[in-house]
Amino acid sequence: PVQLEIRFGEHTLRTLPVLDDQELSTSRPAPVVYWEGLVKVEGSLSGRGYLEMTGYAGRLQM
């Protein structure tokens, strides 16, 4: 889910992960799956950034 397309005004941007396997999973104190890492930005503007996402893997079972 890290290849995002963002549109605003006349701009379209895409985020691409710099490294593979930046997804993390914890079991304690609560089970959480999240992705965080470096991204490059391409499109009508370009650059680099840091992206952190949670909630894409479904609901937490507690």
Domain that holds residue 23: 5-54
**Number of domains within the chain:** 1
In a domain, 24, yes or no: yes
Task: Choose between 47 and 54: higher pLDDT.
Answer: 47
2: helix, coil or strand? Answer: coil
Is 56's pLDDT higher than 60? yes
Is residue 60 included in any domain, yes or no? no
Tell me the helix, strand and coil percentages in the chain, rounded to 5: 0, 55, 45
Quick one: tokens of 8?
A: 């605003």
- What gap in Å lies between CA 38 and CA 22, rounded to an integer? 9
- 36 in a domain, yes or no? yes
61 within some domain:
no
Let me know if residue 45 belongs to a domain: yes
pLDDT confidence of residue 35: 85
Q: How confident is the model at residue 59 (pLDDT cuts 50, 70, 90)?
A: low
* The pLDDT of residue 9: 95
Q: How many CB atoms lie within 10 A of CB 16?
A: 13
Reported as a single tens digit per residue, the pLDDT across 5-46 is 999 999 999 999 998 888 888 877 777 788 889 999 999 999
